[in-house]
Chains A and B, each alone.
Chain A
Amino acid sequence: MPNKTVTYAEAIREALREEMRRDPAVFLIGEDIGVYGGAFGVTQGLIEEFGEERVIDTPISEAAIAGAAIGASLVGMRPVAEIMFFDFMTLCADQVVNQAAKIRFMFGGKAKVPMVLRSPVGSGTGAAGHHSGSLESWFTHIPGLKVVAPATPYDAKGLLKSAIRDDNPVLFVEHKLLYRTKGEIPEEDYQIPIGKGEIKHQGKDVTLIAYSIMVPRSLEAAKILAQQGIEAEVLDLRSLRPLDEELILQSVRKTNRAMVIYEPSKFGAFGAEIAALIMEKAFDYLDAPVIRLGGEEMPPPYNPNLEKKLVPQVEDIVRSVREMVI
């Protein structure tokens, strides 16, 4: 089958459309997702095909959006909720953390919560303190939640399909700067399994462990590093929880060096978990301490130059790898 080129946003839309065609239990719920097509245009055209019964525009009520998704999923529906900005996850945190994640367990396994919560993270759009957050680490801490964060159109479509068909609550972390990036996807149906990472670029000197926006940045850095004689392997986690531990350990055992690259503020974020994992399970293979290259310890600023400083850029990755390897 021939491949086609689509954007990350289009890939997500295709997954939504195909899953809604396949299964009448799948529906969308969120703010401005109907005629408006979502704050980032992801759901454009879906209300025209599926109607307002299955593409439900909501009030600005994040707790009601998440709660409605939970309630509906408890009795056989498969809702895909959109939270317009990941910063707004704070407004439905009770529903996600206390309800969606725990209901199955508290009920002794006698219910399931097959829902997806899509939401975009990330700075880089000049949206400042309340619309640029990357809070995905918080939710990886919650047993009962799955968290995925694809970096490419191909992975986005395949992972979203898996998330919709999964019988657990899945947080689907999108990135604003990725929406317009392009990539190839096949015409036929496919899924990317949740919990499986991928080596996006082979190398032998150091493993760059990344997800979401940091994957293309790490690939870019790897190119530059190659010209300088450093062969960096780029490992895309794709899923944060469950985590593909084996892939991480295999790669580190090969390269003997690891750098974890992520957008959230460095302190207490997901990268520390990866670093600890490597320390616990591949310590003897390490030629250098595991490095965390995370975001700065500050809220997202408005000024573009300040904003750039918040998050690791390609040149930061190149510089840090050189310091580590040479």
Chain B
Amino acid sequence: MEQKERILKMYEMMYLIRKYEERVNSLFLQGILPGTIHQSLGQEACAVGMLFDLEANDYVVSTHRPAGHALAKGVPLRSMMAEMFGKSTGCCRGKGGSMHVGDIRVGMPPAIAIVGGGLPIAVGLGLACKMKGTDRVVICFFGDGASNEGAFHEALNGAAIWNLPVIFACENNLYAASTRVDKVMKIEHIAERASAYGIPSRIVDGMDVLKVNEEARMAIERARNGKGPTLLELKTYRFCGHSRTDSCRYRDKKEEEHWRSRDPIHNLRSHILQEHIADEESLQVLENQVLEDIEESVQYALSSPDPEPEEALKHVFYGE
């Protein structure tokens, strides 16, 4: 794929994630959707930059904030939206909801919503890739908060000593729920932690999809060639609260403005126009198509059946 085409595809995916999250948020605010949401507005460049060059048979492990990762990995939009509605056509048949989306057919096990809980599982996926003699790789997303969990330590050490094809992608959005990272860490960069395991690491501008993608490709290449894990720390920011009810009283408004000025989607759009990768009109066509697709997915979800009550007890055990 030509670079121009790649950039447009990345833009399209980031725009989809942004608009999907906004639409889901409005559905929640209208009281149409049950449960809660943890959204990734502002962090789209991390998901898209990291996952753009993965193959369908590579794996991604995600978190309680998984929508961007799932869409970027190729989980069908309709099945995502239907899952938000708890419908039987959802990617988890209505049993997982917003925090557990995934689709094993496109290489995404259900998102793991225990902070840090996905990291050891990513090690297991990487171990299987290696034991089977494949060149598949695993990208494991986690947040700044997860790097304070014991599971982080065990997983990174395990991936290092077994030289596994796992790329640890830390989306450092500065806040673990409401707790600012500098309050719970004596180092400035989570990337520094990698040296404790003998893992190479990079600090990456998580608001710039092209920079994220460049680093991701190098890490993927390393992993595919048997050179082991990499830790990428993506400096990013969520433009929304931690969860549905969070009004972000703990964040400085100036800080928020600063990061909003670095909006990865807005900036990529400007870049596309400036560099004549596409013109305004064709971008609008692309954007309108995304919006149409999202509305179509909402209609699909609305017209999908709820799971039958007897579905409740199914899928606890295999073979029952």
Contacts and interface: CB of A to CB of B under 8 A. Distances in A.
A and B form one complex: yes
Interface of A: 27, 53-54, 56, 58-59, 61-64, 66-77, 79, 94-95, 98-99, 103-112, 114, 143-144, 146, 166-168
Contact of B123 (A53, A68, A103, A109): A68
Contacts, number: 147
Nearest to B97: A106
B200 interface: no
A63 B151 contact: yes
Contacts of A62: 154
A63 B112 CA distance: 14
Nearest to B157: A59
A167 B131 contact: no
A178 B317 CA distance: 30
Smallest CB-CB A-B distances: 8 pairs: A67-B120, A71-B124, A108-B93, A109-B315, A64-B154, A61-B154, A68-B124, A167-B318
B157 A61 contact: yes
A73 B109 CA distance: 11
A71 B319 contact: no
Given A67-B120, A75-B125, A167-B319, A107 B95 contact: yes
A95 B120 contact: yes
A167 B104 CA distance: 16
B209 to A, nearest CB: 28
A102 to B, nearest CB: 9
Task: Specify which of B91, B93, B110, B122 lies most central, judged by the most chain A CB atoms within 10 Å of its CB.
Answer: B110
Given A98-B114, A103-B109, A71 B126 contact: yes
A71 B120 contact: yes
Interface in B105-164: 109-110, 112, 114, 117, 119-129, 131-132, 150-151, 153-155, 157-158, 161-162
Interface of B: 59, 61, 90-96, 100, 102-104, 109-110, 112, 114, 117, 119-129, 131-132, 150-151, 153-155, 157-158, 161-162, 314-319
Contact of B90 (A58, A75, A99, A108): A108
B124 A70 contact: yes
Contacts of A143: 316
B121 A74 contact: yes
Contacts of A144: 316-317
Contact of A106 (B95, B120, B121, B157): B95
Contacts of B157: 59, 61, 64
Contact of B158 (A59, A99, A167): A59
Given A71-B122, A71-B125, A74-B109, A59 B315 contact: no
Nearest to A27: B131
A56 B123 CA distance: 13
Task: Specify which of A53, A69, A70 lies most central, judged by the most chain B CB atoms within 10 Å of its CB.
Answer: A70
A217 B315 CA distance: 38
21 contacts: A53-B131, A66-B120, A67-B119, A67-B124, A67-B151, A68-B121, A70-B120, A70-B121, A71-B121, A71-B122, A71-B124, A74-B104, A74-B124, A74-B125, A79-B124, A103-B110, A107-B109, A110-B91, A111-B104, A114-B318, A146-B317
A143 B155 CA distance: 26
B90 A64 contact: no
A167 B318 CA distance: 6
A239 to B, nearest CB: 13
Given A61-B157, A71-B123, A144-B317, 10 more contacts: A63-B120, A64-B151, A71-B109, A71-B121, A74-B104, A79-B124, A104-B318, A108-B91, A111-B110, A168-B319
B128 A71 contact: yes
Contacts of A107: 92, 95-96, 100, 102, 104, 109-110, 315
Nearest to B109: A74
B69 to A, nearest CB: 15
Contacts of B91: 108, 110
Contact of A72 (B100, B103, B127): B127
A63 B280 CA distance: 51
B124 A104 contact: no
A122 to B, nearest CB: 26
A67 B93 contact: no
B92 A59 contact: no
Task: Specify which of A73, A111, A112, A144 lies most central, judged by the most chain B CB atoms within 10 Å of its CB.
Answer: A111
Contacts of B150: 63
A137 to B, nearest CB: 19
A139 to B, nearest CB: 14
A109 B158 CA distance: 29
Task: Specify which of B126, B129, B317 lies most central, judged by the most chain A CB atoms within 10 Å of its CB.
Answer: B317
Nearest to A77: B128
A64 B96 contact: no
A49 B285 CA distance: 62
B120 A64 contact: yes
B315 A72 contact: no
Contacts of A27: 131
Given A76-B128, A98-B117, A104 B109 contact: no
Contacts of A167: 318-319
Nearest to A110: B104
Task: Specify which of A68, A70, A146, A167 lies most central, judged by the most chain B CB atoms within 10 Å of its CB.
Answer: A68
B124 A112 contact: no
A72 B128 contact: yes
A111 B92 CA distance: 10
Contact of A111 (B109, B128, B316): B109
A59 B150 CA distance: 13
A66 B129 CA distance: 17
A68 B158 contact: yes
Contacts of B90: 108
A54 B129 CA distance: 14
Contacts of A66: 120
Contacts of A146: 317
